[in-house]
Amino acid sequence: MAQYARGSAVAVIRLRNPPVNALSRAVLQALEDGLKKADADPSVKAVMICGENGKFSAGADIRGFSAPKRLGGALGPIVSLIESSEKPVVAAIEGVALGGGLEVALGCHYRVAHVKARMGLPEVTLGLLPGAEGTQRLPRLIGVPAALDMITTGKHIPATEALKLGLVDEIVEENTIEAAIRLANKVIGQPLGPRRLSLKPVPKVPNMEAFLDEALAKVKRQARGCLAPELCFQAVRAATRSPFAEGVRRERELFQVLLSSGQAQALQYAFFAERAVRRWATPGGASWSSAAPQPVRRAAVIGLGTMGRGIVTSLVKANIPLVALEQDLENLNKGRKAVMLLLEREAMKMEGGAQVLDFHNPARLQFTVDFDLLRDVDLVIEAVFENMALKKEIFHKLSKICKPGALLCTNTSALNIDEIASATNRPQQVIGTHFFSPAHVMRLLEIIYGRHTSPTAIATAMQLATALKKVGVVVGNCFGFVGNRMMFPYVQQAVFLLEEGSRPDAVDQVLEDFGFKIGPFRMSDLAGLDVGWRSRKDQGLTGPSLPAGTPARQRHGQRYSPLPDLLCERGRFGQKTGKGWYLYEKAGGRTATPDPWLLNFLSQYRDTHGIRTRFIDQEEILERCLFSLINEGFAILAEGIASGPEHLDVIYINGYGWPKHRGGPMFYASTVGLPRVLAKLQKYSEAHPDVPGLQPSAFLKKLAAVGNPPLKEWMSYLSQQSSKL
Ligand code: 3H9
């Protein structure tokens, strides 16, 4: 709702819809009523619009977009109504003014913002564009380049920047409401014409068309298959070419195109999924609502390899004092140098730089080889080599040294949390915190609870994720957890496709066209083929421990491809050695080119194993890779490893480069339709009966059989059926 009050000559309209004053139908109606009341009251000389609880507004109510009577067209006319008021209207911006919230402020004649407020038009991140005339008013106020930047990226800008851009008239450090009322009183009676943005011309840019061509090329490059950025661009371009009213018509048309696109639905689903996973629960009954985190005043990181360095950087950026430990001085010095370099780079990106991060202060970041310094830390993150014996040795030591309440986290990407915990005297305080590389950049933190992990430990790890500005997703313990477990069949299919006749660049291209930032072979070259090779050797799948007489392309009765092992045996570890699935300009090089040697090797390999090379089309590449990954997702849900499909989707979007505008693998499956996913898996599994990853999961079959229910209902079918799965 919006509350109307009148004290002096200034009427106050307060947007009220906790927690973020989203502009629902009811709020819009009350805003309109308030404006009309103020207009009709001769004692009112000016109007001030603000938001309840220190927030202006986070924009249109996103849930309203899927309602039968859509919010769509309601906001624009109200913004026009504000602007056409004969009495000055002042916006008092506190907290956030985003999307439709900022568009309301743009309709006002004056804007006063608190210094800590943030503003932006983030509609593009929801697959939309600012549809309440924002694409036409903003360029008139701050110019085309700045408006394009804000609208096509959706970034939030701080009040100080907004002032520089001319987006707000004034910023204040104290009471924004009082400052806005003061301003409103001051401007009573002043002409409003020059303050109405719709009447302003769009500021000229020298050689506007050339500028727009370049801007469009940039938007297309960054959009990677996402529709909204380009349509945002088109709406702003309309402002440069047409009068206001025509620009608004174009904006509405483009908004409708986006609103009904599958991409907008996927992006809005992703927005709510990210928030839903904060409300974690375990099958044992622990949940976010009853578990309280414990404070982390000081932390420690063990191991300063690639992951450890990123984790240290992340903790420093989150202002958490810490100790960084290595096994010997040589590794410590190497790690320290690398961490300092990372931190210098991070500091350069921040206002206040190195002083804010304070990483030269040993009280905040201490490097050591002495385990004793971990005596009174509240939380340890172990990030050593992926080896069970080593991890157990470290955890045993930690449980003897660390204070009783300390949380012991492991950054394993696949190993058994319970086995690691068994080496300690406090398994309830052992938890997996799986970071993604580079750990100071990637947003995902997979949080894995073991059989004995306490709710407090889970809540503390989730709180850590928030402190690190990451998305924490709580999952159960199994080999590879959620992310890597779903990745195994995907990568396996990619390699099988090579065996059967495809090429690394063909497979990568299909998946990159789908929207992945990087295809499976380029990814494997980047991560290093030796990582998986080591793990397969540890599992006895290859190397000296493989029993003599094991068939080359079979393990435990299932199809196995030795191709990655064969590459590793030839020293082809990927980018680091200058060759892997691709050829690079040098060891450590990044430009991948198809390697004639590999193509020749593949053809010899097929001859050796009697495989007839066949042409594999794009559809088969896409379906075999994606549907096997999705199939594993259904198995994970059925086993209770994750509490809902949103968890899997958030993991894939934030940790594995899944295109957000496709909503995550499980959402994607729901858009394809589960009967179709099932039918395709059945077809491929008939053709490849020795590949378990292609055999449809019982849960998928169940959902297809009950009529393809909407994604939000999936888990209810599981509880009814779990005994039979
Ligand atoms: C738009 O405006 C279109 C117009 O141009 C044109 C129309 C014609 N609606 O994120 P938080 C909920 S499109 C509904 O956890 P924070 C959110 O789900 C809109 N609900 O807090 C959560 O609910 P729950 C353009 C919303 O402090 C709760 O509020 N605007 C909306 O970390 C708290 O949110 C945007 O894209 C909404 N608009 O971050 C802004 N916003 O507790 C989207 C939030 O049940 N919002 N909720 O899980 C944000 O970016 C962040 O929520 C914000 C606060 C920065 C505001």
Q: How far apart are CA 76 and CA 584, in angstroms?
A: 53
Q: How would residue 354 be classed by pLDDT, with cut points 50, 70 and 90?
A: low
Please list the alpha-helical segments (H only) found in 656-697.
665-672, 674-687
Residue-wise pLDDT tens digits, 272-290: 999 999 999 999 999 999 9
Any idea which residues carry the catalytic annotation? Answer: 103, 123
Residue-wise pLDDT tens digits, 154-193: 999 999 999 999 999 999 999 999 999 999 999 999 999 8
Q: What is the residue whose two structure tokens read 């040993």?
A: 362
Q: How far apart are CA 292 and CA 254, in angstroms?
A: 46
Strands 430-435 and 444-449, by their bridges, are: antiparallel
Peptide linkage before 19 cis (omega within 30 of 0)? yes
Average pLDDT, stretch 500-521? 96
User: Token pair for residue 149?
Assistant: 């930047």
Cβ(402)–Cβ(416) under 8 Å? no
Residue-wise pLDDT tens digits, 424-446: 999 999 999 999 999 999 999 99
Q: What is the residue whose two structure tokens read 């943005």?
A: 197
How high is the pLDDT of residue 352?
67
Residue owning the nearest CA to atom 32 of ligand 1: 275
pLDDT higher than 70, residue 1: no
Residue-wise pLDDT tens digits, 657-682: 999 999 999 999 999 999 999 999 99
Say which CATH topology domain 2-122+132-202 has: 2-enoyl-CoA Hydratase; Chain A, domain 1 (3.90.226)
With the most atoms of ligand 1 within 8 angstroms of its CB, the residue from 62, 232, 265, 469 to mutate is 62
Query: How many other β-carbons are positioned within 10 Å of the β-carbon of residue 206?
Result: 6
Cβ(395)–Cβ(424) under 8 Å? yes
Instruction: Compute φ and ψ for 108, nearest 5 degrees.
Output: -70, 160
Residue owning the nearest CA to atom 50 of ligand 1: 58
With the most atoms of ligand 1 within 8 angstroms of its CB, the residue from 15, 17, 20, 274 to mutate is 20
Q: How far apart are CA 391 and CA 423, in angstroms?
A: 9
Q: How far apart are CA 324 and CA 373, in angstroms?
A: 10
One-letter amino acid of 318: A
What value does the CA radius of gyration of the chain take, rounded to a whole number of Å? 28
Query: Is ligand 1 within 6 A of the CB of residue 565?
Result: no
The CA 433 to ligand 1 mean position distance, Å, reads: 28
Query: Is ligand 1 within 6 A of the CB of residue 120?
Result: no
The fraction of the chain above a pLDDT of 70, given in percent, is 97
Query: Is ligand 1 within 6 A of the CB of residue 186?
Result: no
Q: How far apart are CA 482 and CA 447, in angstroms?
A: 10
Residue-wise pLDDT tens digits, 602-645: 999 999 999 999 999 999 999 999 999 999 999 999 999 999 99
Residue-wise pLDDT tens digits, 20-58: 999 999 999 999 999 999 999 999 999 999 999 999 999
Q: How would residue 73 be classed by pLDDT, with cut points 50, 70 and 90?
A: low
pLDDT higher than 50, residue 647: yes
pLDDT higher than 60, residue 587: yes
Instruction: Compute φ and ψ for 235, nearest 5 degrees.
Output: -65, -40
Query: Is ligand 1 within 6 A of the CB of residue 98?
Result: yes
Question: Is the ipTM here above 0.85?
Answer: yes
One-letter amino acid of 280: W
How high is the pLDDT of residue 723?
40
How high is the pLDDT of residue 187?
97
Which listed CATH number (3.20.20.120, 3.40.50.620, 3.40.50.80, 3.40.50.720) goes with 299-475? 3.40.50.720
Strands 46-51 and 89-93, by their bridges, are: parallel
Q: How many CA atoms lie within 13 A of 484 on its CB side?
A: 19
Say which CATH topology domain 502-608 has: N-(1-d-carboxylethyl)-l-norvaline Dehydrogenase; domain 2 (1.10.1040)
pLDDT higher than 60, residue 725: no
Please list the alpha-helical segments (H only) found in 471-517.
483-500, 504-514
Give the SS3 label for residue 179: helix
**In ligand 1, which atom is closest to the CA atom of 271?**
18
How high is the pLDDT of residue 722?
47
Query: Is ligand 1 within 6 A of the CB of residue 254?
Result: no
pLDDT higher than 60, residue 721: no
Cβ(291)–Cβ(150) under 8 Å? no
How high is the pLDDT of residue 169?
98
Q: Where are the beta strands (DSSP E) in 7-137?
A: 10-15, 46-51, 89-93, 96-98, 110-114, 118-120
How high is the pLDDT of residue 4?
74
Q: How far apart are CA 386 and CA 436, in angstroms?
A: 14
Give the SS3 label for residue 599: helix
What's the CATH class of domain 618-722?
mainly alpha
Residue owning the nearest CA to atom 49 of ligand 1: 58
pLDDT higher than 70, residue 704: yes
| Residue whose C-alpha is closest to residue 693's, from 624, 639, 594 | 624
How high is the pLDDT of residue 535?
86
pLDDT higher than 90, residue 389: yes
Q: How far apart are CA 416 and CA 548, in angstroms?
A: 28
**In ligand 1, which atom is closest to the CA atom of 103?**
5
How high is the pLDDT of residue 720?
56
Residue owning the nearest CA to atom 6 of ligand 1: 131
**In ligand 1, which atom is closest to the CA atom of 71?**
8
Q: Which sequence spans correspond to the domains of the chain?
A: 2-122+132-202, 299-475, 502-608, 618-722
Q: How far apart are CA 436 and CA 426, in angstroms?
A: 26
**pLDDT averaged over the chain?**
95
Lowest mean pLDDT among 73-82, 101-110, 596-605: 73-82
Tell me if domain 299-475 and domain 502-608 are identical in fold: no
How high is the pLDDT of residue 452?
97
Cβ(531)–Cβ(574) under 8 Å? no
